[in-house]
Amino acid sequence: MQLGAFKISKVVVVGDLYVGKTSLINRFCKDIFDRDYKATIGVDFEIERFEIAGVPYNLQIWDTAGQEKFKCIASAYYRGAEVIITVFDLADIQTLDHTKQWLEDALRENEPGSTFVFLVGTKKDLVSDAACERIELDAVRLANEMQAEYWSVSAKTGENVKEFFSRVAALAFEQSMLKELEKNIGHVTQIGRGNLISKSLFLLLELFIYAFSGGKGRGHESNSASLTSE
Ligand SMILES: Nc1nc2c(ncn2[C@@H]2O[C@H](COP(=O)(O)OP(=O)(O)OP(=O)(O)O)[C@@H](O)[C@H]2O)c(=O)[nH]1
């Protein structure tokens, strides 16, 4: 199967300084947590490898600087994002107010309707369950306005981090397949005698049959797809 065309998706992580963007990425990609703060200068990125339904698939995760003075460097990397993750600190409610602006800046560099948006509250370990629930009322309302999916996580304890990125990978993978399908919708392949079927549709069907007949990747599983992070 020729699946090379959709094997990488770009994910851009934005938000105020000190909200925990680097820590979130490091917990997921390296399974580490550093309590010392080192500001991101400009941008940085990690590539995380998955296997979805037996297909190798990569997420290129861009960590951007929250500091104002680096904003113009970081914004040069927003283009071509399939996923935008807007991050705020559950223990610093002001950072939630700034997420809309971060999202607008990131969306400006991308085609309308071409990105999945997530709103993520970090440092869940620093707030009580009751406080978290109160903040989440506002966060979910804002997420609806932003047409984003809301998640709360802790890079320190690791709570929800794998689950969150599994969801990101599953949605990005699905989006890549649909894009591939749209691109090739005109190209038809003859299957057997007389049956015409889009090559990509055929490919998709093959993939789904494989996925749902137990052809799962190795390693941890998410709610929505079987993923292996290598
Ligand atoms: N308790 C706790 N502290 C966290 C968590 N995530 C990040 N931190 C701390 O918050 C501080 C800032 O984290 P960073 O990940 O560097 O923040 P950032 O958003 O990447 O910051 P910039 O690079 O300046 O944009 C660090 O001291 C981290 O240790 C968390 O989930 N829980």
What are 128-153's pLDDT values in tens digits? 999 999 999 999 999 999 999 999 99
66 within ligand 1 shell (Cβ under 6 A): yes
Distance of CA 174 from the midpoint of ligand 1 (Å): 30
Q: Which two tokens stand for residue 141?
A: 């309302």
pLDDT at 220: 31
Atom 13, ligand 1: which residue's CA is nearest? 20
Euclidean distance between CA atoms 205 and 38, whole angstroms: 46
Q: How far apart are CA 170 and CA 148, in angstroms?
A: 15
Would the CB of 148 count as within 6 Å of ligand 1?
A: no
User: What does DSSP assign to residue 76?
Assistant: T
Tens-digit pLDDT profile for residues 92-120:
999 999 999 999 999 999 999 889 999 99
Mutate to test the pocket of ligand 1, among 12, 13, 16, 22 (most ligand atoms within 8 A of CB): 22
Q: 216 CB less than 6 Å from ligand 1?
A: no
Check residue 164 and give its pLDDT: 98
Q: Tell me the Cα Rg of the chain.
A: 19
For residue 202, the model assigns a pLDDT of 60
Q: Is 217 in the pocket of ligand 1 (CB under 6 A)?
A: no
Distance between CA 172 and CA 37 in Å, rounded? Answer: 30
Higher pLDDT, 205 or 110: 110
Q: Tell me what the pLDDT averaged over the chain comes to.
A: 84
- Specify the DSSP element, H or E, that contains 88: strand 83-89
| 0.85 surpassed by complex ipTM | yes
At a CB cut-off of 8 Å and minimum separation 6, what does 206 contact?
A: 1
Reduced to 3 states (helix: H, G, I; strand: E, B; else coil), residue 228 is: coil
pLDDT of residue 177: 80
Burial of 110-139, coded b for 16+ CB within 10 Å and e otherwise, reads: beeeebbbbbbbbbbeebeeeebeebeeeb
- Classify the phi-psi angles of 12: left when phi > 0, otherwise alpha if psi is within -120 to 50, otherwise beta: beta
pTM: 0.83
Q: Ligand 1 pocket, 20 CB below 6 A?
A: yes
23 lines ligand 1 (CB under 6 A): yes
Residue 174 has a pLDDT of: 87
Does 85 have pLDDT greater than 60? yes
Q: What is the mean pLDDT of residues 146-164?
A: 98
| SS3 call for 56 | strand
